[in-house]
Amino acid sequence: MTNALLTIHELKVHYETSGGLFSAGSLPVRAVDGVSLELKRGELLALVGESGCGKSTIARTLVGLTEPTAGDIIYAGQNVGNFSPQERQNFRRSVQMVFQDPFDSLNPRKTVFSTIAQPLRIHKIVPRAELKAEVIRLLNAVGLSPAEAYLGRYPHQFSGGQRQRICIARAIASRPKIIIADEAVSALDVSIRAQILTLFRKLTQELDLASIFITHDLSVVRSLCESVAVMYLGQVVERGPTERVFTRPQHPYTRALLQASPIADPDVARSRRGFLLEGDVPSPANPPAGCRFHTRCPIAQPKCASEPPALRSIEGVEAACHFPEGWRQTEKVSRAEEAVQ
Amino acid sequence: MTDVLRIDDLTMHLETELGTVRAVENLSLRVDEGEAVALVGESGCGKSMTALSIMRLLPPYARFRSGSIRVAGKDLVTAPERAMRQIRGGTIGMIFQDPLTFLNPLRQVGEQIAEAVRLHTGAGRVEADAQALEALRRVRIADAENVVHNYPHQLSGGMRQRVLIAIAVACRPSLLICDEPTTALDVTIQAQIMELIDNLRHELGTAVLLITHDLGLVAQYCSRVYVMYAGQVVEDAGVREIFQHPRHPYTQALLQSSLRPDRVSEDFAVIDGQPPQLLAPPPGCRFHPRCPRVFDPCPSAMPGLDRAGEGRAMVRCHLEEAHQ
Ligand SMILES: Nc1ncnc2c1ncn2[C@@H]1O[C@H](COP(=O)(O)OP(=O)(O)OP(=O)(O)O)[C@@H](O)[C@H]1O
Ligand SMILES: Nc1ncnc2c1ncn2[C@@H]1O[C@H](COP(=O)(O)OP(=O)(O)OP(=O)(O)O)[C@@H](O)[C@H]1O
Ligand code: SF4
Ligand SMILES: [Mg+2]
Ligand SMILES: [Mg+2]
C-alpha cells in the first residue's frame, strides 16, 4: 500500500430509489458494495465487467459527482474525506475524467479554444498572456496539428476521434495526476480507436499519468493496461496483472468473460465455442446471498449460496471464489476425455 | 446451392437537402440457403442502408438507381408494397441493434409475436398463441408461459433481443438479417444471443446476413465475408481467406487495427486520414486518400470488382489488375 497514488478502501455507493416513504420493496441499489482498489503512479489500470456492475459509479465517486455511502478514498497518503476546501479543489484538479460520448461531453456552442482554455483559467494553470500558447501546446500533444487551424472551430466540425482528442486535451489541461476514461473508446471505429489508444499510451509515459480505463472490451485491456480489476454486481471478483489474469484467470466469472469475448481469428474462434453463461445478471438492488455469482456459476457448490467468498491471493492474482481450482478440474476431465478419443 | 438472396449491381442514393448521399453503389451480394454471411466495414459505410434496401424500409427520399434484389423469385426493387409486406417478417426476418424501437411498449410480447404469425401464416388466434409460446421457448426464454404476458419494459436487454428474434423466426423465414444484433449487449449475453442465432440456423436452415463491425463475431460465426468501404463492396471472400490473406488494402488495415483478447498488440495500427463523406466521395478508388499502397491509376480511375484468380476472392483494387 506504500507507493499507491490512489487507494479506494471498502467503497460503498448505494442509490436510494425513489419508491416513496411507504412503498414497500424499494430497496437501495447497491451499485458499489465494498470495493477496494489501488492505483500506482503512472499505472494503467483497467476496470472491466458487465453493464451495471458499478464501474461508472466508481468513476463518478472519484471525481466527486457522486457521494460515497461508506468507505475511504486515499490520495497521496491522505484521506480525501478529511480534505480542507482548498485541498479538495486541488484533488478535483488532479483527477480528470474522459467520457464515452465525445458528442455529449463538448459544448456545441464553444470553440475548441474556449473549451480547452476554461480549465486553464479556472485552475489558473498559466498566466493570461500564455493561454493561447498553452492551448496550442495541448492540441499538439493530443495530435491535433496544426493546432492554430483548429482553435476557432466548433465541435460539429470534427470527427468522432478528433472530438475525443479534444476531450482528452481538456482533461490534461489542468495537469492532472490521474485520468479516468469511462468507455472512452467504445463508440469509436477500430481505426479511430487505435489513435486514441496510442494517445493514452503516450500520455501515460510522457506525463507520468496514472489512468483508470473503464471498458467492457477485453481486447483493449490486454494490449493497453498492465493491471486489471474484474467487477461483478458491485464487487471486485478478481484483480491482478493483466497477463496473469488473462492467461490464468482464477475466478469463474473472469473465465466466462474471457471466453465470451470473440477473437478475430477463424481457427481459434471455432475451437473455443461452447462455454456459455446461462441467465441474466441479477439486480444490484437484491443481489444473491453468498457468492453473488453463484446463480450463474457453472461450478457452484452448496457453500457458494450461503457464504460470501473474500478476495484472497491465488497464483499471483487476487480472486474471490471458494473453488478457484474448480473449473480447472472440470477442464482437466474434458481434456482427458478428448485425449482418449 | 440455391441462393435465398441475390443482389446484383445495386445502387441506392439518398437525395437529401444537402445533396446526394451515395449510400450503396454497384453492390453485389449473395446469401445461399442455410449460410451465415457477414457484412463488415466502418461506421457510415452503408451496411444498414443495404439491409434497409432489402427490406424496403428506406426513407422517402431514397432512390434505387440501378440493379436488382432477388428474393424468392421476386425483384424487391420493383415489387409492389403489398408483396413487400409478405416478404418482411415472412420470407425475411430482421433484427436490429435496438429492440425497443421495434417492440410496441403498450402490448404484451406474446401478442406481438402472435400477430406476426397471424399476418404471415394465416393461422387462427389459438394456433398463433401456441406458436408464440413455442417461439419464446425456442429462443430459450425461461418461464415462457409468464413472459408472454410481460410488456417490453419488464424485460432485460438480452430478453428483449430474444423476443425480437422470436418474432423474426416465428414465421420460419428463409433469411434472417441481423444488423448489429448484440452491440448494445454485454459480452456474456452477446455470446448467448449469437449461439441462439447460430442454433436456429442449424435447426431451421435459416440463412443469416450478419451486419457487424466486430471481426471476432465474423470469425466465430460466418463462413463468407463482404467488406464494405464508402458504399461499395471492396472485397468478398471466404472467412479464412479474408482473415489469413486479406487482399484489399482496406481489409488489411481493418484487420491490423483489430485487437484480440488473447494477444498483446505492441502498436495500435492506425488507418490514417478521415473516413470518406458519402455526399462527395473521393474520385477513383474511394480508399485512395488513405491507402498506404496508392499508385498512379488510383486517384482517377475507379477499380472494378475483379476475381483474384480462379475460385478466389473478389477484390476492388487496381493492384489486382496490375498483378494479372
Ligand atoms: N443515479 C442512479 N440512481 C439509481 N440507480 C443508479 C443510478 N446510477 C446508476 N444506478 C444503478 O447502479 C448500478 C451501477 O451502475 P453503473 O452506471 O455504475 O454501472 P456500469 O458498470 O458503469 O455499467 P455500464 O457498463 O452499463 O456503463 C446499475 O444497476 C444502475 O442501474
Ligand atoms: N436517413 C438518412 N438520411 C440521410 N443520410 C443517411 C441517413 N441514414 C444514413 N445516412 C447516411 O448514409 C450512409 C450510410 O449509412 P448507414 O447507416 O448504412 O451506415 P452503416 O454502415 O450502417 O454505419 P454504422 O456502422 O454506424 O451503423 C452514411 O454516410 C450516413 O450518414
Ligand atoms: S464462489 Fe462458488 S459460485 Fe462463486 S464463483 Fe466461486 S465457485 Fe462459483
Ligand atoms: Mg458505465
Ligand atoms: Mg448501421
- Taking all residues of chain A, what is their mean pLDDT, rounded to a whole number? 88
A193 C-beta neighbours (distance < 10 Å), count = 24
Burial of A36 (0-12, 13-18, 19+ CB in 10 A): middle
Q: How much is the pLDDT for B186? A: 81
Cβ–ligand 1 contact at A31 (below 6 Å): yes
Distance of CA A23 to the CA centre of its chain: 35
Can you read off the three cell numbers belonging to residue A340? 482418449
Please choose from A32, A37, A51 the residue to mutate so as to test ligand 1's pocket, defined by most ligand atoms within 8 A of CB: A51
Confidence class of residue A19 from pLDDT cuts 50, 70 and 90? low
pLDDT tens string A195-252 = 889 988 988 888 889 999 999 889 999 999 999 999 999 999 999 999 999 999 999 9
Confidence class of residue A336 from pLDDT cuts 50, 70 and 90? low
Measure in Å the smallest separation between the Cα of A79 and chain B Cα atoms. Answer: 35
CA distances, A127 to each of A117, A122, A135, A150, A207 (Å) = 11, 11, 12, 22, 21
At a CB cut-off of 8 Å and minimum separation 6, what does A237 contact?
A230, A231, A251, A253, A254, A293, A311, A319, A320, A321
Burial of B256 (0-12, 13-18, 19+ CB in 10 A): middle
Number of residues that this document lists for chain A: 341
Nearest residue on chain B to A248, alpha-carbon basis: B262
φ/ψ region of B9 (left if φ > 0, alpha if ψ in -120 to 50, else beta) reads left
Least distant ligand from the CA of A314: 3
Q: How far apart are CA B39 and CA B28, in angstroms?
A: 12
> Domain total for chain B?
1
Cα(B106) to ligand 2 centroid in Å equals: 29
Please choose from A53, A61, A186 the residue to mutate so as to test ligand 1's pocket, defined by most ligand atoms within 8 A of CB: A53
Model pTM score = 0.89
Nearest residue on chain A to B239, alpha-carbon basis: A266
Residues 199-218 of B with CB under 8 A from A: 213-218
Q: How far apart are CA B285 and CA B304, in angstroms?
A: 9
Mean pLDDT confidence for A135-149: 88
Query: For A156-222, where are the E strands, in sequence order?
Result: 178-182, 210-214
With beta carbons less than 8 A apart as the criterion, state whether B197 and B114 touch.
no
For the domain covering A4-17+26-339, report its CATH number.
3.40.50.300
- Tell me if B259 and A223 make a contact (CB, 8 A cut-off): yes
Domain assignment of residue B276, yes or no: yes
**Max mean pLDDT range (A280-289, B72-81, B261-270):** B72-81
Q: How far apart are CA A223 and CA A202, in angstroms?
A: 14
Domain assignment of residue B209, yes or no: no
Query: Is the complex ipTM higher than 0.90?
Result: no
pLDDT tens string A258-305 = 989 999 999 887 766 656 788 778 888 889 999 999 999 999 999 999
- Tell me if A280 and B189 make a contact (CB, 8 A cut-off): yes
Nearest residue on chain A to B225, alpha-carbon basis: A266
Contacts of B219 in chain A (CB under 8 A): 262-266, 268-269
Cβ–Cβ contact B147 with A under 8 A: no
Q: How much is the pLDDT for A341? A: 44
Nearest CA to ligand 2 atom 1: B59
Measure in Å the smallest separation between the Cα of A44 and chain B Cα atoms. Answer: 15
Mean pLDDT confidence for B136-157: 87
Distance of CA B166 to the CA centre of its chain: 18
- Taking all residues of chain B, what is their mean pLDDT, rounded to a whole number? 91
CA neighbor of B185 nearest in space, from B97, B287, B282: B97
- Tell me if A269 and B260 make a contact (CB, 8 A cut-off): no
Mean pLDDT confidence for B57-78: 95
Domain assignment of residue B25, yes or no: no
Contacts of A190 in chain B (CB under 8 A): 42, 213, 254, 257-259
Cβ–ligand 3 contact at A321 (below 6 Å): yes
- Tell me if A257 and B187 make a contact (CB, 8 A cut-off): yes
Least distant ligand from the CA of A51: 1
Cβ–Cβ contact B18 with A under 8 A: no
Hey, of A51, A162, A185, A190, which one would you mutate to test binding to chain B, going by the most B CBs within 10 A of its CB?
A190
Q: Is residue A27 pLDDT above 60, yes or no?
A: yes
Domain assignment of residue B8, yes or no: no
- Tell me if A258 and B261 make a contact (CB, 8 A cut-off): yes
Query: For A218-319, where are the E strands, in sequence order?
Result: 227-232, 235-241, 312-314, 317-319
Residues of A with CB under 8 A from a CB of B: 50-51, 159, 189-191, 193-195, 197-198, 201, 216-223, 243, 246, 256-270, 272-273, 276-281
Where in the sequence is the domain holding B324, given as residue range(s)? 246-324
3-class secondary-structure state, position A188: coil
Q: Is residue A314 pLDDT above 50, yes or no?
A: yes
Q: How much is the pLDDT for A2? A: 54
Cα(B39) to ligand 2 centroid in Å equals: 14
Confidence class of residue B290 from pLDDT cuts 50, 70 and 90? very high
Q: Is residue B33 pLDDT above 80, yes or no?
A: yes
- Tell me if A194 and B271 make a contact (CB, 8 A cut-off): yes
pLDDT tens string B154-207 = 888 888 888 998 898 888 899 999 999 888 788 888 888 899 899 989 999 999
Q: Is residue A105 pLDDT above 90, yes or no?
A: no
Residues 234-273 of B with CB under 8 A from A: 239-240, 243, 253-255, 257-271
Mean pLDDT confidence for B248-277: 88
- Tell me if A218 and B255 make a contact (CB, 8 A cut-off): no
- Tell me if B262 and A268 make a contact (CB, 8 A cut-off): yes
Mean pLDDT confidence for B77-99: 90
Nearest CA to ligand 2 atom 8: B49
CA neighbor of B226 nearest in space, from B62, B28, B72: B28
Q: How much is the pLDDT for B149? A: 93
Can you read off the three cell numbers belonging to residue A189? 471505429
Nearest CA to ligand 3 atom 3: A294
Percentage of the residues of chain B whose pLDDT score is greater than 90: 65
Q: How much is the pLDDT for A330? A: 63
DSSP B56-82: T---TTEEEEEEEEEETTEETTT--HH
